[in-house]
Amino acid sequence: MLSVELNDLEKHKGSLIGHSPWKTVTQEMIQAFADATGDHQWIHLDVERARRESPWKSTVAHGFLTASLIPLLNQQVINVQGKSASINYGIDKLRFPAAVKSGSAIRSKMELMDVTRVDDRRTLATYRTTVEIQGEDKPACVAENLVMYVA
């Protein structure tokens, strides 16, 4: 994990910050996300039908479940010190190139794209986060995620 002072964050602009540990996406997580969002499509929940009919031969995680794991994964990659809060400011250019099968392990790869001083207290960081799937060529998710750091 990279520990960096907020005032020194800009020194890492344009560089790979690192990778998170692998995290397994379980069927229980997929079910809980379906229940929370009301998205109960069979490709996410019906294990037997998915084995027979889906192109992945497995149930798959919702794309937005994968995206929602970005903060959890990324907080294991970088620790920005000298801030009172980190605020999820949004996501730009969100893509889902590959599906995450139930039981697959994912991790994030973080690159710092930009750092902008908004005012005396706020700094906006733009990270390119690639959510990789263990053993797969294509990533599950690629996003430019925005984090507002408040001093």
4-35: pLDDT as tens digits: 999 999 999 999 999 999 999 999 999 999 99
Region 118-136 average pLDDT = 97
Is pTM, for the whole model, over 0.75? yes
Structure tokens at 102: 């139930």
Question: Domains of the chain, with CATH numbers?
Answer: 2-150 (3.10.129.10)
Closest CA to 149 of 68, 86, 94: 86
pLDDT tens-digit series, residues 90-125: 999 999 999 999 999 999 999 999 999 999 999 999
Residue 30, H or E segment: helix 27-37
